[in-house]
Structure 1
C-alpha cells in the first residue's frame, strides 16, 4: 500500500502565506484553492497552508511544532541559508547555533509558525 503525508500549517491568509513559502523555499504550489494551498515536497510528502482554522491564530500564540528544512552540506550550508533568508526579511527566532543534531536556526512565518533549518540526518 502506498501512502503520503501532508503537513498542514494553519495560517490567516493562505494566498499570502503561499507567497511567503514559495519565495522562501523557491517552490511553486501544486494545488490551490482560496483557503488551502499545497506544495509537493517529493516522495509522498506535501506541505499545506490552510486558513480554515484561524479562530485564535496570532503570531503571539506560542507554537509547539515546527516545519524543518533539512539541508545537505554541513554547517556552512546552514549559515548560507540563514544569510539568504535574513536578506529576504524573515523574522529570526533563533540564530545559527550548534545543537545535538548539528548546526541549526529557526525563523517564523508571518503567522508565527516556526521553520527550522537543520542538517540532513
Structure 2
C-alpha cells in the first residue's frame, strides 16, 4: 500500500480546545472523532481530518496572526450562502466580511473565537 500523496490532516490552532470544539461542532453540525485536552479531530471525509490543536499554549495567544482560512464550499444558488450567513450570525459567529460577490461567486467570512477565518463560498 502506498502512502497518501495529498494532505489529509488540517490543523487549526486554538487557545481553548473545549471552547473551540463547542463552537466548531455547533457551526458545522459535526462531532469529533475523539476529544483530548489539546487535540480534537473531526473526520470531514474518509481519511481526511480537520483538527483543533492548542499545542503549546504558552506559544499561541489570541494575538497570534492567522494566515489561512477554513473553507466551506456550498452547492446551490447564491441565496444558500446568504441563508447560511443568517444562520451562523444567529449562532453568534463574528462576521469579518458580510456576504458579497467575488470573482468566484457569493461569499462571506466569519471568525472563530481565536480569530481563525472561515470562508463560505460556492462549489468550484
Considering the TM-score relative to the shorter chain, is it more than 0.5? yes
Residue correspondences, number: 120
4+ residue runs over 6 A deviation: none
In the TM superposition, residue 15 of structure 1 has moved relative to its aligned partner by: 1.5
Answer with 1 or 2: which has the greater Rg: 2
Unpaired stretches in structure 2, ≥5 consecutive residues: none
Unpaired stretches in structure 1, ≥5 consecutive residues: none
- Kindly indicate whether residue 58 of structure 2 is the aligned counterpart of residue 57 of structure 1: no
Distance in 2 between the 1:11 and 1:63 partners?
Answer: 10
In the TM superposition, residue 57 of structure 1 has moved relative to its aligned partner by: 2.3
State the secondary structure of the residue aligned to 1:110: coil
In the TM superposition, residue 87 of structure 1 has moved relative to its aligned partner by: 0.5
Contact between 2:15 and 2:60, CA under 8 Å: does it hold in 1? no
TM-score with structure 1 setting the length = 0.92
Report the equivalent of 2:45. 42
TM-score with structure 2 setting the length = 0.90
Please give the root-mean-square deviation of Cα atoms over the aligned residues, in Å.
Answer: 1.4
